[in-house]
Amino acid sequence: MRRIGMLTSGGDCQALNAAMRGVAKACFNCLDEVEIYGFLDGYRGLIYGNFKMLNSRDFSGILTKGGTILGSSRTPFKTIQDPDENGLDKVEEMKQNYYKLKLDCMVILGGNGTHKTANLLREQGLNIITLPKTIDNDLYGTDMTFGFQSAVDIATSAIDCIHTTAASHGRVFIIEVMGHKVGWLTLNAGMAGGADIILIPEIPYDIDKIVEAINQRNKFGSRFTILAVAEGAISKEDAKLSKKDLKEKMKKNPHPSVSYEIAAQILEKTGQEVRVTVPGHTQRGGSPCPYDRVLASRLGTEAAKLIMNEEYGYMVGIKNREIVKVPLAEVAGKLKMVAPDASIVEEAKMLGISFGD
């Protein structure tokens, strides 16, 4: 008998259900006896013992379903070792619930913060296997995370839709794409959607360079300019500030986000009409695209293989189109950033795209 725990933690995204389905179907098909315990609402379920037994029927019909059948929540790693409001030791409670159910392992689906906590549980002696989900594609150790391509498709569609209205009215349009620390989503959606300017956290921008790019387009007869801006985009001036000083400055900022701040600056410097569009959580929602369905299914199946072989302490990722297992200790706490001199950035610049630098 194999007893497997499973949870989804952090922000939801497309193909979480597809990945869990991959794990479950492979285990049910290849192992004689399996019990799968789904913990509800992320690590909270493991902390407080909220779970339900899942059978094969629970995984039927969810390949194309967005969100997560287990629910999710954010349980920040920086406070995971602090007692809860009732004084409970959260880490100890997770361990005890694991042992009470006599689990052979936990399969944990999540992003960067989720992997930090998963690695902590591994260090505490629990058998852990993780799967890389995030629309940001910022997890170290894997070329791709499931959820990313679906989010690229949605953000690109938003940019596509803006093109016609921008051209009709001769306006500057800013589309704010998700991504606080890493710009993979904005970079890919911006290139796919034909954005003229792409601003990402890894390449601090100069507002005068942005205005210069807009004026250059106007000079050559373009009636509009489209900017794809990551929500974590930062100016060169702000990038020089300490975290403390930047936080204080942001508190006094009258604009709801960086996109609105940039819009106000463009209006002031050019006099052109500027509109901001924020697709927001639509980028996380809806049915996973075919690529993500396949990727999540492959990753889930390989996780099942690790369970069968009793190989624990790994994240299942993809490298050069082949599924790989990566030691969890090498993944936790590392972000896969866009290098300012990356080939994809150079290629975008060759297309005439400005990064405001």
Class of domain 149-284 (CATH, top level): alpha beta
Nearest by Cα to 195 from 162, 223, 169: 162
DSSP 324-341: EEEEHHHHTT-B-PPPTT
Residue 342, both tokens: 């990356």
Contacts of 244 (CB under 8 A, 6+ apart): none
- 49: alpha, beta or left? (left if phi > 0; alpha if psi -120 to 50): left
Every domain of the chain and the residues it spans: 2-147+288-331, 149-284
Residue type, 187: L
Choosing among 3.60.15.10, 3.40.50.450, 3.30.365.10, 1.20.1740.10, the CATH entry for 2-147+288-331 is 3.40.50.450
Burial class of 171 by CB neighbour count within 10 A (0 to 12, 13 to 18, 19+): middle
pLDDT of residue 162: 93
DSSP 286: S
Neighbours of 73 (CB within 10 A): 16
Q: How far apart are CA 44 and CA 7, in angstroms?
A: 10
Residue type, 94: M
pLDDT of residue 169: 81
Nearest by Cα to 203 from 164, 233, 163: 233
Confirm whether 82 is a catalytic residue.
Answer: no
Beta bridge partners of 261: none
Sheet strand arrangement including 225-230 = 197-199, 225-230, 172-177, 274-277
Secondary-structure breakdown of the chain: helix, strand, coil percentages, each rounded to the nearest 5: 45, 20, 40
Q: How far apart are CA 42 and CA 115, in angstroms?
A: 12
Neighbours of 267 (CB within 10 A): 13
pLDDT of residue 249: 78
User: Residue 12 to residues 101, 114, 141, 219: CA-CA distances in angstroms?
Assistant: 26, 12, 20, 44
Burial class of 86 by CB neighbour count within 10 A (0 to 12, 13 to 18, 19+): exposed
pLDDT of residue 111: 94
- Quick one: CA dihedral 12, 14, 17, 19, positive or negative? negative
pTM summary value = 0.95
Nearest by Cα to 97 from 36, 48, 38: 48
Whether 2-147+288-331 shares its CATH topology with 149-284 is answered: yes
Q: How far apart are CA 226 and CA 270, in angstroms?
A: 15
pLDDT per residue of the chain (357 residues) written in tens, 0 to 9: 999 999 999 989 999 999 999 999 999 999 989 999 999 999 999 999 999 999 999 999 999 999 999 999 888 999 999 998 989 999 999 999 999 999 999 999 999 999 999 999 999 999 999 999 999 999 999 999 999 999 999 999 999 999 888 888 878 999 999 999 999 999 999 999 999 999 999 999 999 999 999 999 988 888 899 999 999 999 999 888 888 878 887 877 888 899 999 999 999 999 888 999 999 999 999 999 999 999 999 999 999 999 999 999 999 999 999 999 999 999 998 999 999 999 999 999 999 999 999
Residues in the chain: 357
Residue 125, both tokens: 């002696």
Catalytic residue among 12, 41, 136, 292: 136
Q: How far apart are CA 118 and CA 110, in angstroms?
A: 9
